[in-house]
Amino acid sequence: MQLNSNLKDGKPIVSFEDVFYSHPNGNVALKGVNFSLRQSEVLAILGSNGAGKTTLVRHINGLLKPTRGKVSVFGEDTKQLSSAQLSRRVGIVFQNPNNQLFAQSVRKEIEFGLRNFGFSEDILKKRVESALNDFSLLDYADRPPMELSGGEKKRLCIALVLAWDPDILILDEPTVGQDSEQKEKLSEMTRLLQSQNKNVILVTHDVEFVWPLQPRIILMANGLIVADGTSQAVLSDSDFTNRADVLAPQLVDFSKLMGFLKPFPSAPFEAEKILRIEHG
């Protein structure tokens, strides 16, 4: 089955409809998740460990299938698609880089996906060199990936996925092990991809990295979506951040300390996007 090249009439490119997921051991990781994602949105998914964040995004590229409910990507039910079919357009960078790396060298690691997706040799060479340069990996091109530091491995994983230019990029804890310069490059990359009508989904604990980007925010707790809305609205509401065990950005705390009832009172807080904390 081929994925639709685009969706007309403003239809969402990703849709979760009452999605439940149970691990083989019986643990229920998602409990009736509902949300949709439209083209060009940057989405940050925040929550404590075990909230269900990684489980949720692994449904988008087909690594997991719902126990109940439906996940649609580019208009197609993911139960009818393999992860291989989805991966060309939905790239994911895992939280643990060691789960994604296997080639003999950094260069070959980047080459693998491009060869697998059938890129010509000319395009392959250009994209590999660009990836090595853009992510400060040129000096490590011929080294085994497992000899790199944790932060370097993470950059390599981002570089190799970006090389094949997916429409949706999922980054699971992308700032771990990265210094301020690399974090700024990640921010610039995210803004660039959004300007190219692509989607970036950030799974992270790093609210200080997320805040300047001002993405749409989903807060998760215990397999549920606690809140879904603008960064300003969601992260300035202590009720929701407390429920999701998420620390507010320092700027929000500072604004409250200075006496503002709401740090950003003009921010729209759409009632229909604030979802239940408990599943009935």
- pLDDT at 253 (0 to 100): 72
Q: Is 105 contained in some domain?
A: no
**What pLDDT, on a 0 to 100 scale, did the predictor assign at position 139?**
96
Hey, what are 37's tokens? 């994602």
The candidate with the shortest Cα–Cα distance to 176, out of 199, 152, 143, is 152
Residue with tokens 């549920």: 224
CA–CA separation, 224 and 244 (whole Å) = 10
Question: By C-alpha distance, which of 147, 173, 142, 139 is closest to 158?
Answer: 173
Residue 180 maps to a domain: no
Residue 115 is which amino acid?
Answer: R
For the cut 70, the answer to whether the pLDDT of residue 260 exceeds it is no
Q: Give the N- to C-terminal CA distance of the chain in Å, as an integer.
A: 36
* pTM, two decimal places: 0.89
Within 13 Å, how many C-alpha atoms sit on residue 123's CB side?
10
Distance CA 24, CA 44 (A): 27
- Examine residue 160 and state whether it is found in any structural domain, yes or no: no
* In a domain? residue 272: yes
Answer whether residue 164 is part of any domain: no
Number of H helices, E strands in the chain: 10, 10
Q: Per-residue pLDDT for 1 more than 60?
A: no
pLDDT in tens, 124-167: 999 999 999 999 999 999 999 999 999 999 999 999 999 999 99
Q: How many domains does the chain have?
A: 1
**Residue 190 to residue 132: CA distance in whole angstroms:** 18
**C-alpha span between 28 and 42 (Å, rounded):** 27
35 assigned to some structural domain: yes
Q: For residue range 155-182, what is the model confidence (pLDDT) as tens digits?
A: 999 999 999 999 999 999 999 999 999 9
Predicted local distance difference test score (pLDDT) of residue 259: 58
pLDDT digits (tens, 9 = 90+) for 26-85: 999 999 999 999 999 999 999 999 999 999 999 999 999 999 999 999 999 999 999 999
pLDDT digits (tens, 9 = 90+) for 213-244: 999 999 999 999 999 999 989 999 989 999 99
Domain presence at residue 98: no
Q: Residue 220: give its domain's CATH number.
A: 3.40.50.300
Cα four-point dihedral sign 205, 211, 213, 216: positive
34 is in which domain, residue-wise? 1-88+203-280
- Inside any domain, residue 196: no
